[in-house]
Structure 1
């Protein structure tokens, strides 16, 4: 193999290696912005560094990784389950709160969100949004006593919702729902249990009293009915006897006597063993 052929082979190899190196280190790539997401393009160099006033729609976006960065924000509903924390009421009772937040991002405000926080959505959730939730509970709890938190649970959570809607909404986060498991202190829980037991006992006693009263009324009604029935029977028998006595005329008595006569005349015993019969006229 002559030297000219060797130089050609080496040149081709070098070209191929350079091409592979270019393919490997070249800065151009693309990002797929899926449906339900918004992408923002960030310039890393030049006088226009920062977030462009362009919201990238769904689809494939080509960009230079050396000079540009693409940040993708989901705009569908997010659910974040935060670690429990403790808040204090105005009478110094400590309640444990275990919140779970559902929210979504306002697509039109995605560039503003990144300008303000310069973080990913996951980082924002665990920093700004968590602090907002904690502050909402802290502020509202300080305006409630421990008893009123439990007896006005709906009002308590409505106040927290109002604070969060205002706080999150102005920064581009739309509040959907907040689920909070609120655990009272052990002493208050015991008081609540005793109060509930007392209420249950009172309700049971009232129900028993109502049942006894109802049973007594049934017995009275039964006795009254039986007495009235006896009275009616007695009146009926008395009336029947009166009618029978009123119907016993002398003629009727004589007819009844004749029906029962066996044909023998009655005899009367006189002195000295003599007897005689009296004729019946």
Structure 2
């Protein structure tokens, strides 16, 4: 299966998520990171990878599922990419690689596997999206796939909440007190930030078409404590985790790992 992305894909994902990182829109910023062209958001390219895995996974009777992705190289705009999936031993899941055929470079690797339990860590679900808000986000979902699974949408929604929640900015500002930032967009303008990993756990109830899951009820979510490693001179690795569900018990959990470049403090 072949894919190619352009700036319109980046714009659509930015509009949905609020992630206006300039490396996806400003060629000068992209070249400053050693890239020869503009790139699409890793999360946008993952939409297609997650959908492909969802429809190839064999562990249909699992109570829970786990999706893991390693974002190894930026996905360049106006460049063809090939997505290939392989069944994991004993049909317990499926793995995929997104590669650039011309160079042979592997950009993303991922897998979707069945699990018997949901992670024990539990966040306080103290934020809420109304059913109307969730339905509107479903309509705005930036993918042309007609068979999007519910977990794919909810994962994208939770990522957008991480980007836009005040708690996220507070975490970044604690780690980078020298930055003058009022939003994550301000942070992105001052230092390069890239995503390196994406992990999702979810229950079987979300392994259905988004049209089969009723989005007419409140959806609750909350952040777990962030993990921050590194310093301003070497750069930081930040892992942020968010959980969500339709009641007090989370049924989906999204974790992202971000890496920053060193910060100039003088």
| Same topology, TM > 0.5 | no
Instruction: Compute the TM-score of the two structures, normalised by the length of structure 1.
Output: 0.21
- Structure number with greater Rg is 1
Larger helix percent? 1
Q: Give the structure, 1 or 2, with the largest relative contact order (CA under 8 Å, sep 6 or more).
A: 2
Larger strand percent? 2
Instruction: Compute the TM-score of the two structures, normalised by the length of structure 2.
Output: 0.22
